[in-house]
Amino acid sequence: MAFPGHDPVRGKLTYTRKQTRIDVEEGKVVVSADAPQHVWPEGAADPRARHWSFEIGFDAAGKTGNAERISVGSRAQARLQGPRDRLLLYLRYAYAKDDGLESDNQTVGGIDFESYFREKHSWYARMEMENDQIAHVDFRATAAAGYGYFFLKKANHTLRGRTGLMFRHESLKSASSTATAGLDLGLSHLYRFANAWRLTNDITYTPSLEDYRDYRIYHESAFEIPIVASEIWKLRLGVMNDYNSRPAENKDYLDTTYFTRLVFSWQ
């Protein structure tokens, strides 16, 4: 356990409204009028320390007969979590062929940093880079920063909103490069069931400041089921939607991907 401004101590804790008593192993007794800021069981990691967690997921599907389809997808991420901040690095890839023609070929990588300066308040900065051969996007980079607020912040249930400014640069095969400044609005939801199943929902809306009709919406929802009790192996079922109000010439506004992904995670 640890008190504000002091090194952690180990021992038996007795806590009342008037004082905190700790019987340490050497036979000494520590008495304080303050409540401990952090308490954790012996052998567990110090909750004040940052720790890394990693995750790799892979999915594949195919179809033969009247029509042929093959699709593969993968996602990798690394998370550095601390009591006051969180850093997320991620990379995802999707590829598909329908009747011998490519229908999906996208690579996305990004970094997302969030710092908590009060219980429910935070600031964030993120950057994402993308290549999409089917949408004729040679390179797309989006940088954003702003303010975050947790409408719910519990161990098993969180709901966080974000509002900020973004800058996007695009290099298209069929057009000249463009640069857009706009808003960055997002909502993220997580619910963890008692049996360790998880439901996640994320949506980001980025309209241009120059023209409100120029915007992108990205949405992802997933349901995650642990395969073994250790939660190292999981099965993730989900859907992703990517809507672009100004797609490249002869391209659709909306891309929808359904996935059933096997995930391996560790710390």
pTM: 0.80
Domain boundaries, the chain: 1-47, 51-266
pLDDT averages per 10-residue partition of the chain, 267 residues: 56 62 60 55 65 93 79 94 94 90 91 94 97 89 97 93 96 83 97 92 96 93 89 92 84 86 92
- 3-state SS record for the chain: CECCCCCCCCEEEEECCCCEEEEECCCCEEEECCCCCECCCCCCCCCCCCEEEEEEEEEEEEECCCCCEEEEEEEEEEEEECCCEEEEEEEEEEEEEECCEEEEEEEEEEEEEEEECCCCEEEEEEEEEEEECCCCEEEEEEEEEEEEEEEEECCCEEEEEEEEEEEEEEEECCCCCEEEEEEEEEEEEEEECCCCCEEEEEEEEEEECCCCCCEEEEEEEEEEEECCCCCCEEEEEEEEEEEECCCCCCCCCEEEEEEEEEEEEEC
Domain 51-266 bears CATH identifier 2.40.128.130: yes
